A and B are shown apart, each in its own frame.
Chain A
Amino acid sequence: MSRYLGDAWALPYLDPQIRPFFTSGVIRIQLCRSCDAPQHPPDDVCHACQGTEFTHRDSAGLGTVHSFIVVHHPVHPALTERVPYAVALITLDDMPQIRLCGNIVDLAPEAVSIGQRLRATFEEIHDAETGEGLTIPQWETLTS
């Protein structure tokens, strides 16, 4: 599948903290083993109890647009042909304290608005350099 920002756009370096979010095929959020608090972005120490051991919690992948921007001026040469594009900030239904950035793959930038209901979708990418398969979380409009 073709990527929202183009197939030439950057890819993540998969360190152990990053890996679950971008390879699991679900919205996978860091969870503290001691106190069960989810946090994003992942960190080395739990912000609620200072625990240092983590597992994860999978979201059902439903969310709402909390804020968004529409980028017109490309700040990177690889995006010159891609502007305008929208970046949304999404709150998760089942972990409302978590906010994720994402693109809404089925909406034109001018059609994005706060409060829109979304469902997670995933860009499946083969990283030719590392040989790894990635599932980059993205979003599409939820039609009930």
Chain B
Amino acid sequence: MQRRAVVVGVGESSYYKRGAAPETEFQLACIAIRNAVEDAGLALSEIDGFVSHMESRNDPMRLSRTLGVETLDFAAQPWGGGGNGVAAAIMLADAAVSGGLAKCVVAFRALAQGQFGRFGQARMANRLYGAANYSALYGLLSPAHICAMQTRRFMHDHDISQEALANIALACYANAQRNPRALRHGKPLSREEYHASRWIVEPFHLFDCCPENDGAAAIVITTPERAKDLRKKPVPILAAAQGLDAGDGFGAFNERNFPTAFYRNVGSRIWERSGVRPADVDVAQFYENFTGPVLIAMSEMGFAPPDGIEEFVSNGALEGSDARLPFYTSGGNLGEAYIHGFELINEAVRQVRGESTCQVDNVELSLAVAGPGFSPGSAVLFCRD
């Protein structure tokens, strides 16, 4: 909290197409964690905490045994199922380290969808139970469908065209061309190809939707004191937030603020806790499960009013290191790999270190905003030491 916890290590496994990883998911998790700990110059035995989001298979008990952890002092995950929790996981690590509960916390996420089946895939039998009936019975089944319903109304309310969605996708693909780790590296996307691609669910074309991938990513969070003699310059956590606005915690599109990406309260808290404003941010990663909700999240985080969001993302405003708001500089979920958004945390940290493949000059403030469209939202703001 406010520079009392710092990131000292960043790592990942190789990223793969869905089902293409030769490693198991647990192996991927251990590889990413080992790489992050090695990057920090720490020993695996010094890890004393684990956080993740929506992680059910690679649990801290198995990890601490496998990695040779000396003592496990902290293990937690945020509520809420989805990529909306990725920054909340960092918030938990920040709280644990700042509060003295643990000294060296690993935050990570691993996905091997070949080994364990597709994530975010609509699953249903011929019998529906509980509240699912109010949507699934009518054919509204997947995260894409939910986000499309929010996006359609947002576009209607604020006179937003398909080009605004295209701009999000094109920025991700353009930035991925600079990142050799990106699965879309060497496969650029043109505006014509975007518009010609098939509809998945209107208003989302194929290229509005993130792919499904296998891989793992991790960072290491410790105290400023422990960071002093480590290998890399520490990256302080300036602020982190997770939450909801009043009336937004209920489903089936009956949230009070529908259409919302669940970032009103998260935005307020991030700026309040950090003492800076959106205009001060040098580079931002916004989790794109689908392009549309990114527009909602950007406006709820305070970057532009909803009526001005299309203009805000137009004319190449997001592409490249000298963009008005350099955005998803690694290529993101769409262009780099879908590691359930954890790759955006790694990229946000690398921007402060000066290690990005799409490096922005003199980064003081680097923002990572987690998944939109599912609640509660979360975000984390890193700063220069």
Contacts and interface: CB of A to CB of B under 8 A. Distances in A.
Interface of A: 4-5, 8-13, 15, 17-18, 21-22, 39-41, 43, 47, 66-73, 75-76, 79, 82, 84-85, 87, 89, 97-103, 114, 136
Given A87-B145, A114-B153, A18 B250 contact: no
Interface string B114-142: 00000001101111111101111111111
B198 A72 contact: yes
Contacts of A114: 152-153, 156
A58 B144 CA distance: 32
A89 B127 contact: no
Given A40-B252, A72-B198, A103-B139, A67 B128 contact: no
Contacts of A4: 138
Interface residues of B, number: 41
Given A67-B149, A69-B203, 13 more contacts: A5-B138, A10-B136, A10-B137, A12-B137, A15-B130, A21-B133, A40-B134, A41-B131, A47-B250, A75-B145, A85-B139, A87-B140, A89-B153
Nearest to B140: A87
A68 B138 contact: no
Interface of B: 121-122, 124-131, 133-142, 144-145, 148-150, 152-153, 156, 198-203, 250-254, 258-259
A99 B198 contact: no
A40 B131 CA distance: 9
Contact of B125 (A8, A10, A15, A97): A10
A69 B140 contact: yes
A11 B128 contact: yes
A72 B144 CA distance: 11
B149 A41 contact: no
B161 to A, nearest CB: 15
A11 B126 contact: yes
B136 A69 contact: no
Nearest to A139: B138
Given A41-B134, A41-B254, A98-B254, A67 B152 contact: yes
A76 B122 contact: yes
A85 B138 CA distance: 10
A76 B140 CA distance: 11
Contact of A18 (B133, B144, B145): B133
A99 B254 contact: yes
A89 B249 CA distance: 18
Contacts of B121: 75
Contacts of B124: 10, 76
A86 to B, nearest CB: 9
A5 B124 CA distance: 15
A71 B201 contact: yes
Contact of B201 (A21, A43, A70): A70
B134 A101 contact: yes
- Lowest 3 A-B CB distances belong to which pairs? A67-B153, A70-B202, A75-B122
A8 B152 CA distance: 29
Nearest to A69: B148
A12 B201 contact: no
Choose among A22, A67, A82, A102 the residue with the greatest number of B CB atoms under 10 Å from its CB.
A67
Contacts of B259: 67
Contacts of A101: 134-135, 138, 140, 252-253
A38 to B, nearest CB: 10
B127 A70 contact: no
B253 A11 contact: no
A89 B130 contact: no
A102 B125 contact: no
B196 to A, nearest CB: 14
Contacts of B145: 69, 71, 75, 87
Contacts of A15: 129-130
Contacts of A136: 137
A97 B253 CA distance: 11
Contacts of B200: 72-73
A121 B259 CA distance: 26
A45 B144 CA distance: 29
19 contacts: A10-B124, A10-B136, A11-B126, A12-B137, A18-B133, A21-B134, A41-B134, A41-B251, A43-B250, A67-B259, A69-B152, A69-B202, A71-B139, A72-B201, A75-B145, A76-B122, A79-B139, A87-B140, A101-B138
A96 to B, nearest CB: 12
A39 B249 CA distance: 13
Contact of B128 (A10, A39, A66): A10
B133 to A, nearest CB: 4
Given A11-B128, A41-B131, A41-B252, A68 B137 contact: no
